[in-house]
Amino acid sequence: MEGHRARKRFSQNFLHDPGVIERIVDAIDPRPGQHLVEIGPGLGALTGQLVQRAGRITGIEIDRDLAERLRGRFTAGELELVVADALQLDWPQLARSLGGALRVVGNLPYHVSTPLLFGLLPIADQVQDQHFMLQREVVERMAAAPGGKDYGRLSVMLQARYRVERLFHVAAGSFHPAPKVQSSIVRMRPLAAGDLPRIAPQVFAQVVTAAFSQRRKTLRNSLGRLLSEAQIEQANVDPGARAEALDVAAFARLAERVVHVGASQ
């Protein structure tokens, strides 16, 4: 940490607890020959062990000062560093250039974690798995089951594409500076092609967004612009239910109906 002042605007909270770092890297279990991509290597707390175990990784870091430090610590053969905003990165191009299933990892900058998760959705079929440190509430929402207050758009959009697994919590004292929020590690494994909803992703997203945009309302109201009450029933969904009661499969049936209605108009 010496000589570097953590930048709030980049959500810089650096891990310093060797036990926690080892536990995270053990959960990732990097192996030589795999295509590891770390978002925000920072001062290299995780990077050191990732490089040690995988031999070579790719890092995406927005902060030029940190990038320079990383270049001083790792050879180009150990860490291929991309100095860029992970939100603006051409992820499909990176996946193509690495030529294999990506293992994406990172102690993510919390202020951009949700857009980053959505930004990675389009390359899920080129990903082996993702391991992230995130704000604990975000992990609860990602992994939530239908029926509870945590279950929402983030849960449905991610669970339609990945198996989401909460791994463990990390105490605020394991970081410097200590974040004001609590943190957890999550594992995401893309679902096999046969388990994915067979539906255009844009239509699926449109239905999920509409249903949760007014989550206290019944589906007959929140989806009124997309489907009539009868059409919601044809999808085998109760128009009097609320979005939070529906599982991913029910959203997929509703999206199918929207496609069907559009095609027959």
| Contact range with ligand SAM by CB under 6 A, out of 54-62, 124-132, 183-191, 208-216 | 54-62
CA distances to 38, 51, 56, 81, 154 from 77, rounded to whole Å, are 15, 10, 6, 10, 37
Nearest to ligand SAM of 92, 148 (CB atom): 92
45 is an interface residue for ligand SAM by CB under 6 A: yes
Q: Name the nearest CA neighbour of 50 among 70, 30, 69, 78.
A: 30
Partners of residue 184 on adjacent β-strands: 134, 169
- Decide the pairing of beta strands 14-15 and 162-170: unpaired
Nearest to ligand SAM of 42, 239 (CB atom): 42
Tokens 């603006």, located at residue: 88
Q: DSSP characters for 127-189?
A: EEEEEEEEEHHHHHHHHPPTTSTT-SHHHHHHHTTEEEEEEEEE-GGGEESPPSS-EEEEEEE
Nearest distance from C-beta of residue 246 to ligand SAM, angstroms: 33
Nearest distance from C-beta of residue 142 to ligand SAM, angstroms: 18
Nearest distance from C-beta of residue 234 to ligand SAM, angstroms: 43
120 is an interface residue for ligand SAM by CB under 6 A: no
Q: Whole-angstrom Cα distance, residue 174 to residue 110?
A: 16
Residue nearest to ligand SAM (CB): 40
Work out the number of other CB atoms within 10 angstroms of the CB of residue 243.
26
3-state secondary structure of 107: strand
Helix axes 45-54 and 18-28, enclosed angle (nearest 10): 40
Site residues for ligand SAM, 56-115, by CB under 6 A, read 60-63, 66, 85-87, 107, 109, 112
Nearest to ligand SAM of 136, 215 (CB atom): 136
245: exposed, middle or buried (C-beta count within 10 Å: 0-12, 13-18, 19+)? middle
Single-letter amino acid code for the residue at 96: R
Nearest to ligand SAM of 81, 144 (CB atom): 81
Nearest to ligand SAM of 136, 220 (CB atom): 136
The 4-43 site mask, x for binding ligand SAM (CB under 6 A), equals ------xxxxxx-----------------------xxxxx
Nearest to ligand SAM of 179, 201 (CB atom): 179
Nearest to ligand SAM of 3, 194 (CB atom): 3
Nearest distance from C-beta of residue 36 to ligand SAM, angstroms: 13
Nearest distance from C-beta of residue 265 to ligand SAM, angstroms: 41
Q: Which residues bind ligand SAM (CB under 6 A)?
A: 10-15, 39-43, 45-46, 60-63, 66, 85-87, 107, 109, 112
